[in-house]
Amino acid sequence: MDTSRPEPQLSALYQELILDHYRRPRNKGTLEGATHSVALNNPLCGDEIDLQLRLEGDVIKDVRFIGRGCSISQAAASMMTQVVKQRRLADALALADRMSAMMHGDEAAARDRTLGDLRALAGVAKFPVRVKCAMLPWNALKDAVKS
């Protein structure tokens, strides 16, 4: 039995989770009192994100995004904001690296429970042109905290 593919029911649940985040994005809007922000876009497909963070010490106390684009980029941004809020910055950046590994086909990363619902995006790795869509919010996170 090929265990590299999700079961059909699981695949449908993953698709539904992505669509739910696209249709009802979490943490979308402007963040008052942001300490870090960055605007990024993906010129290949037109995806855009403006990510705003409020760091207190080494903890991401709040995060918001404004964006437009495909369902993958916008769902990924919504999912990312949920996962990184109230986390230590180092942990959030480690998740960004793990997400990148998953997006580039790392099977162990795709099974990594620390990614939680983000694993729903694992199937994007099969479509190299869409990997940039899923990674846009994570790249924004890294860029925002560099400055």
pLDDT in tens, the chain (147 residues): 444 555 556 577 778 999 999 999 999 999 999 999 999 999 888 999 999 999 999 999 999 999 999 999 999 999 999 999 999 999 999 999 999 999 999 999 999 999 999 999 999 999 999 999 999 999 999 999 996
Residue the block writes with tokens 């605007």: 39
The structure tokens listed for 57 are 């010490």
What is the predicted pLDDT for the residue at 63? 98
Q: Give the pTM.
A: 0.90
Nearest-angstrom CA–CA distance, 116 and 5: 17
Residue the block writes with tokens 């079961």: 7
What is the predicted pLDDT for the residue at 9? 61
The amino acid that residue 13 corresponds to is: L
What is the predicted pLDDT for the residue at 2? 43
Residues 6+ apart with CB under 8 A from 105: 125
What is the predicted pLDDT for the residue at 14? 79
What is the predicted pLDDT for the residue at 147? 63
Count Cβ atoms below 10 Å from residue 19 Cβ, excluding itself: 12
* Domains identified in the chain and CATH numbers: 26-146 (3.90.1010.10)
Nearest-angstrom CA–CA distance, 11 and 71: 16
What is the predicted pLDDT for the residue at 145? 95
Nearest to 78 by CA among 137, 133, 8: 137
